[in-house]
Copies of this chain bind each other. A is one copy, B any other.
Amino acid sequence: MAVASTKRIICCAITGSIHVPSQSPYLPITPDQIAQNAIDAANAGAAIVHIHARNPETGQPSADLELYREIVGKIRAQNQEVVICLTTGGGAGMTVEQRVAVVPEFKPELASMNAGSINWGLFPVADKIKDFKFPWEPAMLNMTKSFIFENTFAAMETMTSIMNENGTKPELEVYDVGHLYSIAYLLQKGIIKPPITMQYVTGILGGIGSTPYDIMNLHTTAERLFGTGKYNWSVIGAGKAEFPATTMALILGGHVRVGMEDNLYLGKGVLAKNNGELVAKMVRIMTELDLQPATPAEARELLALSK
């Protein structure tokens, strides 16, 4: 039975690799914190939790597979239903091989797959933070002045191939309009398989902005390239754009992602204490618009996951 069009998938990105611990004491860092936040997000209405690992002492983004194993284990100990999406974006400085290693290891239903290369300019954030808890934080932020988030066509082909072998659906991360064209190329060549699932990551310096105009530009381009109703799409808005951008997605018929990877605040000046709070807010907005959060089972059906 088809899932109702009023059901929308909420993905919650628990901690990511962009924010630094100095920005919020609530940023989950340890496997326990990350897993608990994921469980709270699922309880609040998220059908998908998107997972990065961090070094439990320093909060630095980590590619350590044992940390991922611990996080996934702790989530599954309490929640067998929520879709777990593992990152292959990693953190600044990791190689493509490091980034994709989670796929053969954990064979997740869903994993992020970045659809192009861009400058990834986190450095302006460094000026806004007065006291850094850890020396790696300003170093990482400042390093991005000369950083490119590398996802070449060859890398995309490799990653997709590994995902196909492991029954993992790529969640295609789109940072600019050109990435939609690159996906259209990969789709036409059979390198990625329909139905595709895309996520518009807006507001990263180097990529497209997060205004409603940007979301409309991405959306109308995708409609033209892929055909209305023939693909899945979701929106991320960085920082304070999180709720306007995702609400815009809802109005346009799309799915949404919230969470501390993208935004640390519940409202102006109010830090979210838990990812579940951000999901709960998203659910409230949905409710006002006569929409309902999709369950994990509904998300699996909508995205054609192979669990």
A contacts, CB < 8 Å to B: 116-119, 121, 123-124, 144-148, 150-155, 157, 175-178, 181-182, 185, 204-209, 211-214, 216-217, 220-221, 224, 228, 240, 243-244, 247-248, 251-252, 267-268, 281, 284-285, 288-290
Contacts of A117 in B (CB 8 A): 117-119, 148, 206
Apart from the given pairs A153-B206, A181-B208, A247-B288, 12 other A-B contacts in the complex at a CB distance below 8 Å: A117-B118, A121-B153, A121-B182, A144-B153, A147-B152, A177-B214, A178-B204, A178-B207, A181-B209, A182-B205, A216-B216, A285-B285
How many of these chains are in the complex? 4
Chain B nearest CB from A238 CB (Å) reads 12
Contact between chains at A252 and B119 (CB < 8 Å): no
Known: A152-B145, A247-B251. A221 touches B212 (CB 8 A): no
Chain B nearest CB from A156 CB (Å) reads 9
* Residue from B144, B212, B213, B288 within 8 A of A285 (CB atoms): B288
Q: How far is the CA of A268 from the CA of B147 in the complex (A)?
A: 42
Q: How far is the CA of A289 from the CA of B220 in the complex (A)?
A: 24
Chain B nearest CB from A280 CB (Å) reads 11
Chain B nearest CB from A287 CB (Å) reads 8
Contacts of A221 in B (CB 8 A): 209, 213-214, 217
Q: Is the interface of A mostly helix, strand, loop or mixed?
A: helix
Q: How far is the CA of A151 from the CA of B117 in the complex (A)?
A: 11
Chain B nearest CB from A63 CB (Å) reads 21
Q: How far is the CA of A118 from the CA of B207 in the complex (A)?
A: 10
Chain B nearest CB from A93 CB (Å) reads 14
**Closest B residue, CB atoms, query A152:** B146
Chain B nearest CB from A173 CB (Å) reads 13
Q: List 19 A-B contacts (CB under 8 A).
A: A117-B148, A117-B206, A121-B153, A146-B152, A147-B152, A148-B152, A177-B209, A178-B208, A181-B209, A182-B205, A212-B216, A212-B252, A224-B228, A247-B288, A248-B248, A267-B290, A268-B290, A281-B288, A285-B285
**Closest B residue, CB atoms, query A224:** B213
* Residue from B145, B147, B213 within 8 A of A220 (CB atoms): B213
Contacts of A284 in B (CB 8 A): 284, 288
Contact between chains at B206 and A182 (CB < 8 Å): yes
Contact between chains at B289 and A247 (CB < 8 Å): yes
**Closest B residue, CB atoms, query A189:** B124
Chain B nearest CB from A201 CB (Å) reads 11
**Closest B residue, CB atoms, query A284:** B288
Q: How far is the CA of A83 from the CA of B232 in the complex (A)?
A: 45
Q: How far is the CA of A116 from the CA of B181 in the complex (A)?
A: 17
Chain B nearest CB from A236 CB (Å) reads 14
* Residue from B119, B155, B217, B288 within 8 A of A146 (CB atoms): B155
